Amino acid sequence: MRSFVAVELPEGLLGPLLRLQAGLPGRPVPEDNLHLTLAFLGDLAEPELEALHEALAARSLEACELAVTGIVPFGGRAAKLIAAEVAPTEGLHDLHRTVRAAAREAGIDLPRERFRPHVTLTRFRGAGPDPAEAARLDRAMAEQAGLHLPTEWAAAVVLVGSTLRPEGARHEVLARYPLG
């Protein structure tokens, strides 16, 4: 099953992120799919998911602050998506490292990659935004320069199964781990 571990967004961030999303070009990510990925796991078999669940459940996961500091396009010259950038706090990095350590303990080999905390808000089809979307993106970037949403505390990490479908991914929470 295609899966990942993510920070579940607190209610206090969802409303502002949805309002921000409404002014952006591209295909909006459904509210139920908004999250901050800590580790993308790829396709895992049931025994691997169970081992990861046990490793995460055995750990003390510390709460961390989530501070949205702006919007940013991802994907190089032809943006593939627009995301809300989240401040890379020490607490968030600690949570990321803890999740990766649990994955290693469960025998899951994750590629080394730079952790850039963000919440994907919209996606573009194909080769990025068309000219009208690009103009809307430029306006949105200018309007949102200096954006800072109120800081919220993350309350949980979730293990998520993701099924790709033509209309977009369908996410299912497989397990939830409260943050202390």
How open is the CA angle 75-19-134, to the nearest 5 degrees? Answer: 35
Q: Yes or no: say if 69 and 87 are a contact pair by the CB < 8 Å rule.
A: yes
Q: Which residues are catalytic?
A: 35, 118
What six digits make up the tokens of 54? 């046990």
Residues ≥6 apart with Cβ < 8 Å to 166? none
Query: CA 79, CA 123: separation in Å to the nearest integer?
Result: 9
Query: CA 101, CA 156: separation in Å to the nearest integer?
Result: 17
CA distances from 40 to 6, 102, 160, 161 (A): 8, 13, 10, 11
Q: Strand runs (DSSP E) across 49-155, as ranges? A: 65-66, 68-74, 81-86, 118-123, 152-153
